[in-house]
Amino acid sequence: MVTIYTVDSFTRELFKGNPAGVCTSFQDVSSSTNLDILFQKIATEMNISETAFITKANESLSNSRYFLQWFTPTNEVDLCGHATLATAHILFEKYLQNSSIDELIFETKKVGELKVKKCDNQGRLQLDFPMGNPQPIELNREIINEIKSKLNITQDIHAIELCKRTKKLLIHLSSIDDNIKPQQNLIDIDFPSSIRSFIRGIILTSDSKTYDFISRYFAPWNGILEDPVTGSAHTALTVYWSRLLNKTILNGYQKSARGGHIECELDEKNQRVFLRGYAVTVMQGQLQIQKDYLLEKKDYSE
């Protein structure tokens, strides 16, 4: 059987944070085995924002190194923070509970190696991710008005930046209130051709009395109307707010319906961002099909 877990990330409470699927059943299969079509079908069946899959890193015999991929219900993505946290949480909780290993290394297709380590004995984990690179960008008034209309934004816009590394448009608002409501037709916005391929999501952010910053994130380009808590978005948010507030350690809160807290730290010298948070296992289940059959089957199109 193929085992699937669901985990709520960036929270210590069930049904808060961001849910992710985690499939560990292929961790003994070489990453050179192309299972992308199968993984996509499983992620579509799971129908949550991202499902993570680990396979065996090439030539690695270690229990601390894996190859990691993430799929939304519609496509594979280059990086997913909350599903990485969820994967590390499951490995530590279910497979390495009696091991002295306190750091995991995940090889990836597009973003190099990602490290996740234990912060303490209370379950808090730290993600070591590439630093985002948000830069100011000018958009014409027509596009800005279209963004405001499709998100029902009535607040003032303080700044707009583009993070090409994470393919996210960052918009700094005077506040983030309940009036903001995303529409699926965000994907119809006709961004200039020079930046169109670099926009797969929109971050809205503002300051806060309780946190250093708050945010919301919308990614219908990846089949996700609104993501509850987004680790990859915080690699850009950390850089942006660190420069504004002249701080390297910041507390962020993603103000979705589920909500989630992320402690962020910028290591500008090494071009890294550290994201710290908790995760909680919600559910464990099994696909009613044998793994050996899936590995033998070459065509998953039917």
Query: Residues 176-227: pLDDT tens digits?
Result: 988 999 888 999 999 999 999 999 999 999 999 999 999 999 999 999 999 9
pLDDT score at 128: 98
List the beta bridge partners of residue 277. Answer: 125
Nearest to 232 by CA among 147, 144, 114, 125: 114
Name the β-bridge partners of 159: 172
Give the up-direction half-sphere exposure of residue 135: CA atoms within 13 A in the CB hemisphere.
6
Question: Which band of pLDDT confidence, cut at 50, 70 and 90, is reported for residue 292?
Answer: confident
pLDDT confidence of residue 298: 67
Please provide the distance, in angstroms rounded to a whole number, between the alpha carbons at the two ends of the chain.
Answer: 20
Q: 252, 276 in Cβ contact below 8 A?
A: no
For the chain, list the domains and their CATH numbers. Answer: 2-124+280-296 (3.10.310.10), 134-274 (3.10.310.10)
Q: What is the DSSP letter of 71?
A: E
DSSP string, 134-170: EEE----HHHHHHHHHHHT--SPEEEEEEETTTTEEE
Of 32-36, 189-193, 208-212, 263-267, where does mean pLDDT reach its minimum?
32-36
Beta 249-254 vs 260-267: how paired, if at all? antiparallel
User: Which among 198, 219, 215 has a CA at the least distance from the CA of 206?
Assistant: 215
- Tell me the one-letter amino acid at 124: R
- At residue 58 the predicted structure's pLDDT band, cuts being 50, 70 and 90, is confident
pLDDT digits (tens, 9 = 90+) for 135-174: 999 999 999 999 999 999 999 999 999 999 999 999 999 9
* pTM beyond 0.85, yes or no: yes
Distances (CA, A) of 288 to 71, 114, 169, 299, 301: 20, 32, 40, 18, 18
d(CA 228, CA 17): 6
| Closest residue by Cα to residue 10 from 264, 182, 248 | 264
- Residues annotated as part of the active site: 50
pLDDT in tens, 219-248: 999 999 999 999 999 999 999 999 999 999
Q: List the structure tokens of 108.
A: 């990836």
